[in-house]
Chain A
Amino acid sequence: MSAMNQKLKNGVRSAGAMVAFFAIGLALVLALGPVLQPKSNTAEAGMINASSNAFIGEAPDTIDAVFIGDSETYTSLSPMEMWKTHGLATYNCSTSGQTLPYCSTFLDRVLKTQHPKVVFLEANALFRRFSYEKVVARAVNDAFPALEHHDRWKQLTWEDFVIDSNHTWTDSLKGFKMRFVHKAPNQAKIAENEALHPLKTNIPARNLAILESMNERCKEHGAQLVVVATPSIINWNEERQATMEKVSAETGIPFLNMNDGEHKVDIDWNCESYDGGDHVNYAGALKVSEMMADVLVNQYGLQDHRGDAAYDSFANALPEYEALVEKKQPTALD
């Protein structure tokens, strides 16, 4: 009996020690987070994907629509163009090769300070494959900012240990990235590439699970999730369209197709793409943004905020945006 008691005691002690060990470790990692996190939201201060994340510098509740996705998104949709023509307050939160776990993270970040009416998820991200490893890594990075920003040890000063973050920087392009060159598609090369690496046209179950989870969160925050397929002759085809229409019917998530049908944007691929038909350039983005603005106004009732002081960030950014367009300055990737 006493031997059993002793065994039980040892077991409890071991379990207690284990819990204490992990609790201390967890506390240390959590404590490191505020130290390593960038104190400003600029790229120079160490913010990762600074322009795509710069909505955190915008005044709360001033963004009516956000665009989440990969490079198809940030090259196609110009929030400042939509502001300029329709007074719409939108933001482009896309990054290169963005996979759904990161899309999901962006949605959470946006919903912390903003109440968008519409959230657009670009379809290419929906078809993009990712490993479970990516899901775990994303979840860990979201839970422990120290990991995502660990490389900032190179910039640390004593101030990092005492001052709070002050994320006030805003991007004058609101996440849009411009390209002014043009390159016509090479059909033979496209066909050869398609034969070597056929476009994935089904959406894996894990992607659908994240899509549905994003949809739920949007609903909870009063936002409408919409999947949008921006124009591309390399990343879009009829099979993808069929898949997307089926998913839209099954999930009830609206699908906006800019490659075909009612909302087709007529892109002149010979001069409105910068990389031979994958992404549109600035001229193409103007057309896509115009179509998007029409949809936002007519289908989702977004309002013109020009002249409203709460939206000064957009009004103030416009001259800078126009100057960059005038100079035809391509946007650096962050």
Chain B
Amino acid sequence: MTSYFTLLFLGIFLPLTVVVYAAVPKKARWVVLLLASYAFFFALSRVLILALLVSTLSIYICGRGMGALIVRRDEALAQAKSGKKEIRKTFARKMKWVMVAGLLVNFGLLAAYKYLHFFASIIDGGLALIGIHLNIQLPVWAAPIGISFYTLMAGSYLVDVFRGTIPAEKNLGKVALFLGFFPQIMEGPIARFGQTADQLMAGNPVSRANLYAGTLRMLYGLCKKIIVADRLNAFVKLVFDNYGCYDGGMIALGAVLYTLQLYCDFSGTMDLALGMGRIFGVTLPENFRQPFFSRTASGFWQRWHITLGSWLRDYVYYPVSLSKPAKTLTKHARKKLGNRYGPLLASSLALICVWLGNGLWHGAGSQYLFFGIYYFVLIVAGSLIEPTAARLAERLHVSRESVGWRAFQIARTLVIIVVGELFFRANGLAAGFEMFGTMVTGFTFESFANGTVLSMGMDGKDFAVVAIAVVALLVVGILRERGVDIIGRVGAWKLPARWAVWYGLFLVLLIFGAYGAAYTPVDPMYAQF
């Protein structure tokens, strides 16, 4: 078993887990989920399951430690007649140490698995500047599956316990299941303990409604991933791996198709995860909300990989912007720059932490750092010019809520997204700039006219399938944007219609899916981050 998108997983592992889950008493169901989750993790990462166990045990122990401190603090407060502030401070300091210890274990593991080579190369580069050539050699090792995702979940658990948002969990199994739940272990969504832990332990029955809705959502996700994303893979790979051979038109098309591929791959996997969760009666947080309808770059990040954005907001942006140094900075900046730009300076400080974190989270590569900085610059620039843009629109009598203006904003944001994804996918930052340069200065339609475009692993019929899929995604997106619960509505139809929709989607997947001898299987793309 290598991922969710295998016959072994979809045809045997998942159905077997559902059957056993449904068959055992309600109280034992969470155990079935935990065993299945660990079996899945072991199948994918073998002995690296130890890393997940260390994370689980560390947050459990630190959580319990903080929980014990809270009890002692409350007792001390109840007995104290004065000096309560000091007691709070003392216990807060102790709890902070425990939390930091837990965070160090988890983020230390993440750094060891993902960033050691990157940091070593930075140290090497830095020392080389002053004539010292260390040439640090480190062994190459594989990272446990989903470490970037479950580490953030582990971090959020520790901080939430520290903040008192959630109580420290006494049941180790509950913490283990929260962190390792197999539908979300590969690519998230990055859930919080308060969002999913109770549902996971509830042992909700496998109802007919949930089974139908869950499998339908899974089918929709499978269609996105296997019909669109995997079909586009050959074309995108050729363009990005051999960008020097293509003109600007092809590179632009490659960037657009990569953006579509990444969306269908990641959001398709999320549909699968949420659908699986639904079968077990667990509502996982949504990770996408029609991101290509965004009107601004910051709006895009409120709709794309939502759980990462909200994690960075709650555990990086707010702590940094509300920290004492940031508050002091804001105070001084207000005096110097005024009420408009002063606070912006302090929030920019927090924002750069968020975007560097976002970039680095995706990987230890210069292109990912650039990707983060790219959005930081765009979002800060957007905030800076917003008042001017508003005034200009007013003077020109342009309604900023008109359809035309909104369409322009969406189109502009799409360009920003596609350019960002070009750098993100490029094989290094230098390659990204070269591709961008070719796209801007060497844009022609020659490759379209001479048929090159149809000799890149996709023929006319493949493009037709992608085009039809895009229209279907657009229709679904518009309906969702209008608040229509499509799966809920279909679920309320009469049985023959409900089944017809299911079979229809299944046959479309079976016939038009990019799988089998003619295609190279593609693992979920975000699983590598």
CB contact between A32 and one of B1, B11, B507, B516 (< 8 Å): that residue: B507
Interface residues of A, count at CB 8 A: 24
> B503–A147 contact, CB under 8 A?
no
A24/B511 in contact, CB under 8 A: no
Given contacts A146-B510, A154-B459, contact A24 B7 (CB under 8 A): no
Q: Is A21 an interface residue (CB 8 A)?
A: yes
Assess the A147–B516 pair: CB atoms within 8 A. yes
CA distance A137 to B6 in the complex (A): 8
Chain B residues lying within 8 Å of A147, measured Cβ to Cβ, are 510, 516
* B503 pairs with A28, CB closer than 8 A: yes
Check if B461 is an interface residue, CB within 8 A of chain A.
yes
B208 interfacial contact with A, CB 8 Å: yes
Q: Is B518 an interface residue (CB 8 A)?
A: yes
What is the CB-to-nearest-CB distance from B478 to chain A, in angstroms, rounded to a whole number?
A: 28
Complex formed: what's the CA distance from A14 to B511 in Å? 29
Output the nearest chain B residue to A151 by Cβ-Cβ distance. Answer: B518
- Chain B residues lying within 8 Å of A36, measured Cβ to Cβ, are 511
Q: Are A133 and B1 touching (Cβ within 8 A)?
A: yes
CB of A153 closer than 8 Å to a CB of B: yes
Q: Which residues of B contact A148 (CB under 8 A)?
A: 516-517
Q: Which of B1-42 contact A (CB under 8 A)?
A: 1-2, 6-8, 11-12
Contact of B11 among A136, A153, A154 (CB under 8 A): A136
Cβ contact of B503, chosen from A14, A25, A137, cutoff 8 A: A25
Structural contact, A14 and B208, CB atoms closer than 8 A: yes
Q: Knowing A131-B2, A148-B516, A151-B516 are in contact, say whether A137-B459 is a contact too (CB < 8 A).
A: no
Q: Any chain A CB within 8 A of the CB of B119? A: no
Instruction: Please give, as numbers and ranges, the residues of chain A lying within 8 Å of B180 by CB-CB distance.
Output: none
A270 to chain B, nearest CB (A): 35
Q: What residue of chain A has the Cβ atom nearest to residue B514's Cβ?
A: A151
Closest chain A CB from B147 CB (angstroms): 22
Q: Say if the beta carbon of A29 comes within 8 Å of chain B.
A: yes
Task: From A24, A48, A136, give the contact of B517 (CB < 8 A).
Answer: A48
A132 at the interface (CB under 8 A from B): yes
Residues from chain B with Cβ under 8 Å of A131 in the complex: 1-2, 8
A133–B8 touching, CB < 8 Å = yes
A242 within 8 A of B: no
- Does A140 reach chain B (CB closer than 8 Å)? yes
CB distance from A317 to the nearest CB of B (A): 26
Q: Which residues of B contact A28 (CB under 8 A)?
A: 503, 506-507
A153 touches B507 (CB 8 A): no
Interface flag for A112 (CB, 8 Å): no
- 1/0 contact trace for A60-93 toward B, CB 8 Å? 0000000000000000000000000000000000
| A150 with B461, Cβ < 8 A, contacts A14-B208, A132-B1, A137-B7 known | no
A109–B9 Cα distance when bound, in Å, is 27
**B2 to chain A: which residues have CB within 8 Å?**
131, 133
Interchain CA distance A137-B8 in the complex, whole Å: 8
The CA of A25 and the CA of B11, in the complex, are separated in Å by 14
Task: Select A153's contact among B1, B7, B8, B511, beta carbons within 8 Å.
Answer: B511
Q: Flag whether B203 is at the interface (Cβ < 8 A).
A: no
Which residues in window 490-529 of B have CB below 8 A to A? 499, 503, 506-507, 510-513, 515-518
Residues from chain A with Cβ under 8 Å of B459 in the complex: 154
Known: A136-B12, A150-B516. A21 touches B499 (CB 8 A): yes
Q: Which residues in chain B, 200-258, are within 8 Å of chain A measured between CB atoms?
A: 208
With a cutoff of 8 Å between Cβ atoms, the chain A residues found around residue B208 in the complex are 14, 17
> Which residues does chain A contribute within 8 Å of B516, judged by CB atoms?
141, 147-148, 150-151
Q: Return the CB mask of A118-152 against B: 1 if under 8 Å, else 0.
A: 00000000000001110011001100001110110
Alpha-carbon separation in the docked complex, A323 to B473 (Å):
54
The interface centre, meaning the residue of A25, A32, A36, A150 with most chain B CB atoms within 10 A of its CB, is: A150
CB distance from B517 to the nearest CB of A (A): 5
**B518 contacts across to A, CB distance below 8 A:** 151
Option from A14, A24, A25, A153 in Cβ contact (under 8 Å) with B512: A153
For the complex formed, measure the closest distance between the CB of A174 and the CB atoms of chain B, giving whole angstroms: 22
- Docked Cα-Cα span, A36 to B506, in Å, equals 16
Q: Which residues of B contact A25 (CB under 8 A)?
A: 503, 506
Query: Is A24 within 8 A of B12, CB to CB?
Result: no
Question: Which residues of B are found within 8 Å of A136, using beta-carbon distances?
Answer: 6-8, 11-12
Closest to B43 in A: A132
Q: What is the CB-to-nearest-CB distance from B495 to chain A, in angstroms, rounded to a whole number?
A: 8
Q: How far is the CB of B203 from chain A (nearest CB, A)?
A: 18
The residues of A that contact B6 with a CB separation of less than 8 Å are 133, 136-137
- Measured CA separation A153–B509 after assembly (Å): 12
Flag if B513 contacts A150 (CB, 8 Å): yes
Task: Give 19 pairs: A residue, B residue, CB < 8 Å, sorted on A.
Answer: A24-B499, A25-B506, A28-B506, A29-B510, A32-B510, A32-B511, A36-B511, A131-B2, A133-B6, A136-B6, A136-B7, A136-B11, A140-B7, A147-B510, A148-B516, A151-B518, A153-B512, A154-B459, A154-B461
- Nearest first, the 9 closest Cβ-Cβ pairs linking A and B are A133-B8, A136-B7, A154-B461, A136-B8, A133-B6, A153-B511, A151-B518, A48-B517, A137-B7
Given contacts A132-B8, A140-B7, A151-B516, 12 further A-B contacts (CB under 8 A): A21-B499, A25-B503, A36-B511, A131-B8, A132-B1, A133-B1, A136-B6, A137-B7, A150-B511, A150-B512, A151-B517, A151-B518
